[in-house]
Structure 1
Amino acid sequence: MKIEQLYQRFDTCTGVCTDTRKIEKNDLFFALKGDNFDGNKFASQALASGAKYCVVDEKSYAIDDRYILVENVLETLQNLATFHRDTLGILIIALTGSNGKTTTKELINAVLLKKYKTTATLGNLNNHIGVPLTLLRMDETTEIGIVEMGANHPKEIALLCEIAHPDYGLITNFGKAHLEGFGSIEGVIKAKSELYDYLMAHKKTVFVNENDPIQVKQTQNYDQVYKFGLNSSTDTRLEIINTQPYVTLNYNGSEIKSQLTGTYNFNNIAVAIAIGSYFKVAPEDILNAIEAYTPTNSRSQILKKDSNNIIMDAYNANPTSMMAALENFKQLHQERKLVFLGDMFELGNTAETEHQSIVDYLEANNLGEIYLIGENFFKTKVNHNSIKKFQTFDALKLHLQDHPIKDSFLLIKGSRGMALERILELL
């Protein structure tokens, strides 16, 4: 079936779904395949659950006209999303980066919502499936789409750009993330800059943090750049007033008090303010949006549990984000501080070196008591008796049962797979 014909059927559906457990009446179901499943086998179940049509790529499952047979379901989903995006003609802002993508996306959305009808990526649905689903959620009322793009291998951002056709874009930063797939920090820079490559090739606008030398270098020969940062020569100039415990900054003569901690979040806030300024959102509306934004989902949340105060930053971790969190925590003036760090994943053959580098930093800086959790941290060499290692979460749990923590200020940071938010239950 041609994409134009499929689009006509899509237009009669209420939405798109790839999971039979989440089917809503009159959805268009895409029978995706994975390493351990074949969505074709669930097509009939999708129809029984209320789907109007099912897109399949195995002929034996296409038993009546409710089944739409295509060559490849995933490619069809992506092509339909591109066709839909181009048909609507929505302005698309794309963002990627090693750290802070989701927080930055949510801040941008909060600011732009003050003036525009937006549709933004839900959670971190930012891959080759999530980006098409985000585009297909947009409709005629959407004025600006905000599309988060994630990647752990080269050419993935390039593919997502070919799907989303962004008009504007930004890269939050370049850090030591997904080194297993990118190979090195140079590989990270090259892969993330695929967004710049697309935007520059299509004469689109790039938002650049002037205080990030890599961003400046990667866009130095391009003139459609909107700059922001601490320099007086930028298009949107900002000033840091304080970052402890929350980021406070000056914009347009007004003081903005955010609910986010750390210098690294200043950069995320700065992006949102710059984009709001570019799209002519009133300064007072920008201020209100930033001050009202509350972090969720274990991303730089400041929580209280009994007598303990906690910076919960356990949604994800890599060497760059972990070091930034530790630097921020070091600056906090608190009487009793404790740090819980979980393993960092997807580092490939650099895992041993990167985990040892974190331990070396901890030994050289006084951050209070340190608890390291996971196989990688357990293998590190530790010389300081303030640092305790636990091979498993269960080992940590047993320790805390005998050594309860009270009246302390805690940092909890680790990769998603470590699920360190479970520590809250132990306090």
Structure 2
Amino acid sequence: MRVAADEMSGLLPLTTSPHSSRRCSDVSSGPRSLLLCSARVRAGLQIHRRARFYRSFTCRVNSSDPLSEGAGGGSQDYGWSCDDGGVVWDASRLARAVGGDVVQWGSPGSICTDSRKINRGQWFLALVGPKFDGHDFLQQALDRGCAGVIGQNVSSDWPRGFIRIECSLDALHLLATYVRRLYRGPVVGITGSTGKTTARAMTSLALKSLGHVHQTEGNFNNHIGVPLTLLKLPFRNSACILEMGMSAAGEMEVLARIAEPSVRVLLNVGPAHMENFEKLEHVAAAKGELFSCARPGDVCILNADDPLIMGLILPPAVQVIFFGRRAGCHVKLVEAAVTEGGRGVHVILEQSSYGSITVENFNSGSQILENLLTEKPIHTHPQKPFDGAAVGRDYHSRTVFDISSPGLHLAMNACAAAAVAVALRIPVEKVCKTLSEYSPVGRRSRLEQVGNVHILDDAYNSNPMSLESSLRSLSYMDSKNRRVAFLGDMLELGRVSEDAHQTALALCTELQLDYVGLVGQCFAKAAMSLGMTTNNFNSFEDSEQLAKQVDFILEPGDTVLVKGSRGMKMEAVVDAIRRMTIT
């Protein structure tokens, strides 16, 4: 059975109350092409740095399709049902969505790409990458009770459903795009060189008053993770927050065209993944792809303190909101101060009395902000200042709250989250209570006391921007004894690697840290170049070697930061400290 992509109807219907939506209208307004320009997409779960490919494919939604008619505001309003694995599809609609062949029928179910985690009744999408082939794990998927396979081939005696496709990655993107096109609520896309996960978690708290918020889990922020997150999106959720990452030019555009965020946030631009870029301006341009395909009416939220972001050109007819410390910001960070002996942050935000700005022509963020400051602001929300406190000129409300986690950088992430709330018509003063509930996600500046040692576990990842923030956080913390840093190499920095590692070591000296343990060749080379071969700076070949020495290095009352790139496996050091203090 051959089903054309222009007959798309991908989901099981769920009758709901009608709502209007610009993007839902797009789906049902007649045959419409969606071009997914997958420039430099990752081929599989890992990017092959020197083997990028370009793909483009088109899917059209036919207005005669019953699901499309419902979504477009016909007599019935359709959504979709979900099981524990996400959005549920039947075989015929799966085939229509991806333009594939139904070779064998299977029961309705959600989609899974990991044969080790597939639940009974799910469809297994056999992804193919440079180092793996999902078709090698069909038997495992069958043993776990899959409803069928979406792939290129199966054995002649395959007993379950089978939908034949040409490219599994294209199929994943098409399915996610279709779900996104039918979703009624706001979709927030967040990117930046550092702080994406923290800002995403804070944004979820800031939007708590809207109801249940669907968001990225773990590190699902690439061309596989973003579609999978959309494929788990419940129809009735109030909002969806997507963390969006990239390591090369073209990748952010792919994610943006799949996710079509109605609110697009760029936190910062710094030296990350520099092995794929010649200079920071190229990183900014790659991050800025989030804005380049924005539609009229989409909200673009910019960090006004970052000149690289402010230099990006925005498309016409988008709405712009600024956050940061500069005058003219819609959400202004007035104050950020350490509290609780460096273990918390005091934050003061102000919300401006004028609304978002509509871009009339192609303009940079700097030009837009300059125009805003030279023109008389329009006071659209005349309200009393927060608690009667004095606020800055052109600001109508102030909110004050505390975050019980270390790191002044959290204040700027909170400012960005508040800007998203403002974009969705939630006043800043309403989000202060929920933002104060923030706690670190995973191994990201998580403070814990194990025995008589305090650990600042920031072992998840590292780049120059995040490392500087973490080192300063350590320096602000009260310690009964020494301040110790165990630092793993920052990877994927290319030509700026040597300078970045030397700068980090110079900062350790400036902050007068008592002991620095270095893991990896990059830090070892930097220490040698700077003549840092004293007892205060020691190098180790890998994290396992350092882990064996922590019992001899640490002293009672020490406060220790552990940080490094994922490839350095610095979590082994944290685990060793935990074992040391227990035994």
TM superposition score normalised by structure 2: 0.68
Pairwise CA distance, 1:398: 3.7
Number of equivalent positions: 426
- Between 55-64 and 158-167, report the one with greater CA deviation: 55-64
2:102 alignment partner in structure 1:
none
Q: Which of 142, 160, 175 is 2:237 aligned to? A: 142
- Between 409-418 and 55-64, report the one with greater CA deviation: 55-64
Q: Which of 327, 338, 341 is 2:472 aligned to? A: 327
Which amino acid in 1 is paired with 2:347? Answer: L
1:247 alignment partner in structure 2:
345
Are 1:394 and 2:492 an aligned pair? no
SS across alignment from 1:407: coil
Q: How does 1:364-383 map to 2 (within 5 A)?
A: 364-380=510-526, 381=528, 382-383=530-531
Distance 1:109 1:56, change over 3 A: same
Pairwise CA distance, 1:359: 2.2
Distance 1:48 1:402, change over 3 A: closer
Which amino acid in 1 is paired with 2:167? Answer: N
Distance 1:425 1:38, change over 3 A: closer
1:31 alignment partner in structure 2:
126
**Residues 43, 56 of structure 1: 8 Å contact kept:** no
* Structure 1: runs of 5 or more not aligned: none
**Residues 109, 120 of structure 1: 8 Å contact kept:** yes
Within 2, Cα distance between the matches of 1:19 and 1:115?
A: 32
Q: Deviations over 1:296-337 (max 9, x none)?
A: 311011111111122211110012211222233334454521
Pairwise CA distance, 1:111: 1.9
Which amino acid in 2 is paired with 1:215? Answer: I
**Residues 7, 80 of structure 1: 8 Å contact kept:** yes
Distance 1:47 1:198, change over 3 A: same
Within 1, Cα distance between the matches of 2:545 and 2:158?
A: 54
**Residues 56, 62 of structure 1: 8 Å contact kept:** no
- Between 331-340 and 293-302, report the one with greater CA deviation: 331-340
Distance 1:401 1:309, change over 3 A: closer
TM superposition score normalised by structure 1: 0.92
Q: Compare CA radii of gyration and give the structure with the larger one.
A: 2
Distance 1:62 1:132, change over 3 A: farther
Distance 1:388 1:128, change over 3 A: same
Q: How does 1:97-136 map to 2 (within 5 A)?
A: 97-136=192-231
Distance 1:387 1:149, change over 3 A: same
Within 1, Cα distance between the matches of 2:507 and 2:336?
A: 27
Distance 1:36 1:212, change over 3 A: closer
Q: Which of 408, 417, 420 is 2:570 aligned to? A: 420
- Between 402-411 and 264-273, report the one with greater CA deviation: 402-411
SS across alignment from 2:492: coil
**Residues 336, 408 of structure 2: 8 Å contact kept:** no
Within 2, Cα distance between the matches of 1:402 and 1:107?
A: 38
Q: How does 1:21-420 map to 2 (within 5 A)?
A: 21-58=116-153, 63=158, 66-199=161-294, 202-218=296-312, 224-231=319-326, 233-243=328-338, 244-251=342-349, 252-281=397-426, 285-334=430-479, 335-380=481-526, 381=528, 382-384=530-532, 385=534, 386-420=536-570
Within 2, Cα distance between the matches of 1:236 and 1:226?
A: 8
Pairwise CA distance, 1:48: 3.4
**Residues 154, 191 of structure 1: 8 Å contact kept:** yes
Pairwise CA distance, 1:203: 4.6
**Residues 26, 52 of structure 1: 8 Å contact kept:** yes
**Residues 182, 191 of structure 1: 8 Å contact kept:** no
Within 2, Cα distance between the matches of 1:237 and 1:375?
A: 41
Q: Which has the higher helix share?
A: 1
Pairwise CA distance, 1:225: 0.5
Taking only aligned residues, the RMSD between alpha carbons, in angstroms, comes to 2.4
Within 2, Cα distance between the matches of 1:71 and 1:214?
A: 40
Between the aligned residues of both structures, percent identity stands at 29
Q: Deviations over 1:145-203 (max 9, x none)?
A: 1111111111000011111111110111101111112333222111111112122x545
Within 2, Cα distance between the matches of 1:356 and 1:14?
A: 53
Within 1, Cα distance between the matches of 2:160 and 2:574?
A: 52
SS across alignment from 1:270: helix
Pairwise CA distance, 1:426: 3.0
Which amino acid in 2 is paired with 1:353? Answer: D
Distance 1:220 1:289, change over 3 A: same
**Residues 459, 563 of structure 2: 8 Å contact kept:** yes
SS across alignment from 1:153: coil
Which amino acid in 2 is paired with 1:345? Answer: L
Distance 1:328 1:141, change over 3 A: same
Distance 1:267 1:61, change over 3 A: farther
Within 2, Cα distance between the matches of 1:8 and 1:347?
A: 43
SS across alignment from 2:441: coil
Which amino acid in 1 is paired with 2:558? Answer: S
**Residues 333, 411 of structure 2: 8 Å contact kept:** no
